Structure 1
């Protein structure tokens, strides 16, 4: 709990929770976490956010306010299970098109199944690829969204540069992520919940506590609101802002490619 957050200058590429790992090893370790939790991912988010992730995701989509046009294209990164993409499509009156990109095939499999059940497959594409090396042409998308995924990317600066590249001029970046609690009493309560309760719930839900221990620790290593905003600015984005939710447990960052 005493581990310090990384700065705007980086450090997440060798941070696997509170452990330091050699460069190049983090991605494989993170992939294994999400293979293990894919089928319980939404339950995991409920546990980690005390159910608040649903309201935060709705706030992201409200901020995006997707155009109700078939030409409107969104890239949702690290969104394998489709949670954000489904919301965006519904908010566009099922007119927008969303590409869901994830490095983890297990997560994408869950999302594709859910899309079929919701009859949203015509509005969606599922792509298995790395956020640090997007397989799209420059200027392909009107918006880039990522919810609770950026802290699991080893080279965050590279992922943000790729986000900037694939957006059209006038395109928008929206990043929803767990952040630094800003209220003195809440931070103590949230630490107690995170480090004591969440791994126990994780073991009960999935049979394993270790993935949840990593996820809790990764939140504490992620840059705070202002440092992450600076990383977004360094990637080239303009009009960078953020809004903290629930005392800073989560924050929504916004930037524009102008």
Structure 2
């Protein structure tokens, strides 16, 4: 008699930081991480990067180039920072061009606690009727093909159980001529800088997480997940293989973060 393997034994293994876990376990544990840090997420981002992450996001959204009347999906959008920036820039573009059409945005996140933290922000009021919040998995988006003009992911795709499946979903829901912007922690362009950054991140970030968010383990995972993410050229190739054209890479702060930008042609 041949023993049958359980689903857990047959599932593909993926990285959760430096651990190897099943895809379903990674999804559950990532949800736990962000449920734990949701209330201090924006504050911790400011502390960890000395506020520089806001400049990276500003430059990323300028590259996305929001336009009046467009529909935007921010996957793993958390507290909605990129979605609000998209609407702001689209309105400015409309004013310059004398176009009244209003852009809309959806913040899509698998974690309900992150969405609740985002929805509670006072600066959502000005976008009433134009900003929506949806709890959904970025690898299985609840939207028809060719639904959006722009899709963005900011510091979220490294948490996917299967980022290739996620990239293919982004390509599916983008209209022809739509664009994808993926802003993610990456690899420093100089080995000496990487060594210094490693020293900082391994020693300071988990300690900050403990002091500010009361959760050292979640920020230890954050540091490890950054190290497990592929380098800029490898991820560029993954985007191209998922169907994106003219993929470009812009390094920020010496490669601490990088914007990968591609077109759905």
Alignment TM-score > 0.5, same fold: yes
Within a 5 Å distance, the mapping from 1:229-244 to structure 2 comes to 229-244=236-251
Are the counterparts in 2 of residues 13 and 154 from structure 1 also a CA contact under 8 Å?
Answer: no
1:9 aligns with: none
1:184 aligns with: 191
| Larger RCO (CA under 8 A, 6+ residues apart) | 1
1:251 equivalent to 2:249? Answer no
Q: Which has the larger displacement, 111-120 or 101-110?
A: 111-120
1:90 equivalent to 2:94? Answer no
Q: Which has the larger displacement, 103-112 or 89-98?
A: 89-98
For 2:117 and 2:196, how far apart are their aligned partners in 1? 33
1:60 aligns with: 60
User: 1:24 Cα shift?
Assistant: 1.8
SS in structure 1 at match of 2:24: coil
SS in structure 1 at match of 2:120: helix
SS in structure 2 at match of 1:119: helix
| Aligned residue pairs, count | 245
SS in structure 1 at match of 2:137: coil
For 1:101 and 1:197, how far apart are their aligned partners in 2? 30
Are the counterparts in 1 of residues 107 and 134 from structure 2 also a CA contact under 8 Å?
Answer: yes
1:170 aligns with: 177
SS in structure 2 at match of 1:154: coil
Provide TM-score, normalisation by structure 1: 0.91
Larger radius of gyration: 2
1:211 aligns with: 218
2:34 aligns with: 34
Are the counterparts in 2 of residues 179 and 248 from structure 1 also a CA contact under 8 Å?
Answer: yes
Q: Which has the larger displacement, 167-176 or 178-187?
A: 178-187
For 2:197 and 2:13, how far apart are their aligned partners in 1? 25
User: 1:127 Cα shift?
Assistant: 0.5
User: 1:44 Cα shift?
Assistant: 1.9
1:19 equivalent to 2:23? Answer no
User: 1:51 Cα shift?
Assistant: 2.1
For 1:192 and 1:216, how far apart are their aligned partners in 2? 11
User: 1:118 Cα shift?
Assistant: 4.0
Match of 1:222 among 210, 229, 237: 229
For 1:57 and 1:210, how far apart are their aligned partners in 2? 26
Are the counterparts in 1 of residues 74 and 108 from structure 2 also a CA contact under 8 Å?
Answer: yes
Q: Which has the larger displacement, 116-125 or 226-235?
A: 116-125
Cα RMSD, aligned residues only: 1.5
Gaps of 5+ in 1: 1-11
